[in-house]
Amino acid sequence: MTQAELHAFLTTNFDLVIDPLERGSARTYFLSTVVWRPSTTTRILHVQYGADAHVSHIKRCVSSDNNNSVFVRLPIGWQDLRQIVADEIAQHVKPLLR
């Protein structure tokens, strides 16, 4: 899975956005707007890429906490990834609805 393929998948299917100021071999995907503040963050996924522009790690931001990081097991199919991203978004939205 390449950076371009994953970016198109996340932005097209889930309307996720990236911080245009973020540089380097990683991208953080946010729900609707970019909010970095811990108490109100909209982070959904943090993706790292190898030198060949292929995905090397996908961190689930909502499922992770200060002590534990939850990563997507790679390689993964598009359908399975779709469910994981939907679950992360649902977990993010749930506290907002209370």
Residues of the domain holding 27: 3-97
Up-side HSE of residue 49: CA atoms within 13 Å toward CB?
Answer: 17
Residue-wise pLDDT tens digits, 14-56 = 999 999 999 999 999 999 999 998 888 899 999 999 999 999 9
What confidence tier does 98 reach under pLDDT thresholds 50, 70, 90?
A: low
Domain count for the chain, please give it: 1
How far is CA 8 from its chain centroid? 13
